[in-house]
A and B are shown apart, each in its own frame.
Chain A
Amino acid sequence: MSRELEIVLNSIWPVLKAGLAVTIPLSLISFAIALVIAVITALVKLSNFKILKLIFSTYVWIFRGTPLLVQLFLVFYGLPKAGVTLDPWTAAIITFSLNTGAYASESIRASILSIPKGQWEAAESLGMTYWQVLRRVIAPQTVRISLPPVTNDFIDLVKGTSLAASITIAEMFMIGQQIVAFTYEPLAIYALVAVIYLMFVSILTFIQGRLEKVASKYI
């Protein structure tokens, strides 16, 4: 067996283990928080509360307008200067959820806007309150429409977690770097890391397809 192949085979488990223990939980936790942020942000931006709207628009503007890597550095290395010291996981989760939340809020806002005005009118004319319209009529339709763009944001997040390596989190990419450091096989090892990311994203894409089918049964 060639040396490269042996190194790759021996590296699969360490890299995959980092994926299962770090990349996936980091992605899932950040995404869950991001979704909550995104829904609130989308609703505020569609509301009439001027000051709140300005605050949330500013948040989206900043987090979409600056690089994720810079955001991570600011939160993890920068904030201690301002007296706020966070452990790497907390810094990563805060940054990733705020970043993905900003993108996903726009995906969700666009989905809500794409629902015909007549749906609001029909629900309101039945006497529904704003929250009833949202819960019974708008939310179920938004879920279906926003599945593709929000999954997109989630996929971006999964790949973005590789940047957590730069704030000392031993996720897949960092493990890959460490293996490269003592084997000096950058081509084989980084390809392996890429393939495992691709595998994770493929699973997500598969789940997206199933969810879309369920959510579209009425179409």
Chain B
Amino acid sequence: MNKSFSNHHALKDINIQFNKGETTVILGPSGSGKSTLLRCINLLEIPQTGTLEIDSFKIDFTQKLSQKDKLLIRQNTAMVFQSFNLFPHMTVLENVIEGPITVLKKDKSSMIHIGEQLLEKVGLLHKKDSYPSQLSGGQQQRVAIARALAMEPKFLLFDEPTSALDPELEGEVLKVLKALAEEQKSMIIVTHNLNFARVAADRILFLENGEILFDGRTDEFFNNTENERIISFIQSMQFI
């Protein structure tokens, strides 16, 4: 796929396949196109050219997208945002079950049960009747993860999920992500946290200037001795 913003060519002929049950971490310097790539998968950005396929379902971006295509893609790819974006007027539990009830037309009483299980999974069942404004950033992000899980998407997308959190709160969110990775959930995570990538990722994508510079297994990425650019990136990150 290709994506441009006015004069800026953000993604250049990107061609990738994501596998089920795999945790992929996308790394790269700011402005490399990693968030754009993630947002294109969820159609929050629409690429100018290219195709997107999930299982046997395929859309072509040179054609006009129908609302039905959009919804189908989005229901299969749930997004967790850097700034959480919980719905402030809904309680924690209402946030979690909103998508399944409104979009998937699921039965409310059974969703309440599922929602409570998901909240238990992220350790926040006791906060189910609180409003987002009463939670810490880390707690809000864990609710956002539960909200994404409630849609039972084929892929979970994370756009810098811990960048707005201080290190202590970052830990509690990363722990949840790690647990999901161990459950073989299919996840694509954009992050700046190299340590997390090292322990949780099956696969690393390294992007720069809208191009994929590296696509391979995590240990290959960190033990890489040939690609100068990746070596200097890892060094600069570890210096921080």
Contacts and interface: CB of A to CB of B under 8 A. Distances in A.
Interface residues of B, number: 28
Given A132-B103, A141-B88, A124 B74 contact: yes
B50 interface: no
B99 A127 contact: yes
Interface residues of A, number: 21
Interface string A176-193: 000000000000000000
Interface in B84-119: 85-90, 98-99, 102-104
Residue from A116, A125, A136, A137 with most neighbouring chain B CB atoms (10 Å): A125
A125 B89 contact: no
B103 A218 contact: no
Contacts of B144: 122
Contacts of B87: 119, 122-123, 136-137
Given A118-B81, A218-B131, A219-B133, A127 B89 contact: no
Contact of A127 (B71, B131, B133, B147): B71
Interface of A: 116, 118-119, 121-129, 132, 136-137, 140-141, 144, 217-219
Given A126-B103, A126-B151, 7 more contacts: A116-B85, A122-B144, A124-B74, A126-B99, A128-B103, A137-B87, A219-B88
Interface of B: 42, 44, 67, 71, 74-75, 77-79, 81, 83, 85-90, 98-99, 102-104, 131-133, 144, 147, 151
